[in-house]
Amino acid sequence: MALFKSKSKKEEKPKEDKKTALRQKIVKKESLDAVPSTRLGTSPNKSARALKPGTIRIDQSAEDGELYGKIILKPRITEKTSFITEDGAYTFDVDPRANKVQVKKAIQEIYNVKPIRVNMIAVPAKHVIVRNKPGVRPGGKKAVVYLKEGDRIEFV
Specify whether the CB–CB gap between 73 and 95 falls below 8 A.
Answer: yes
How far is residue 115 CA from its own chain's centroid? Answer: 23
Whether residues 105 and 49 fall in one domain: no
Residue 83 clears pLDDT 80, i.e. is over it = yes
pLDDT category of residue 81 using cuts at 50, 70 and 90: very high
Same domain, 124 and 98: yes
Average pLDDT rounded to a whole number, residues 15-21: 65
pTM for the whole structure: 0.58
> Which one, of 121, 116, 119, 110, lies nearest residue 154 by Cα?
110
Residue 85: what pLDDT?
92
In this structure, what is the dihedral angle of CA atoms 43, 49, 52, 54, given to the nearest 10 degrees?
Answer: -90
Tell me the three state secondary structure of residue 86.
coil
- pLDDT band for position 101 (cuts 50, 70, 90): very high
Instruction: Judge if 72 and 139 occupy the same domain.
Output: yes
User: What pLDDT score was predicted for residue 14?
Assistant: 57
Structural domain that includes position 136: 68-147
Mean pLDDT value of segment 62-86: 84
Task: Answer yes or no: is 100 within a domain.
Answer: yes
What is the end-to-end Cα distance of the chain in Å, rounded? 92
Evaluate whether residue 10 is within a structural domain.
no
Question: Residue 62: inside a domain, yes or no?
Answer: no
Residue 57 confidence (pLDDT) = 55
26 pLDDT above the threshold of 90 = no
The Cα–Cα gap between 73 and 95 comes to 7
Q: Are residues 139 and 74 in the same domain?
A: yes
Cα dihedral 103, 104, 108, 109 in deg (nearest 10):
-30
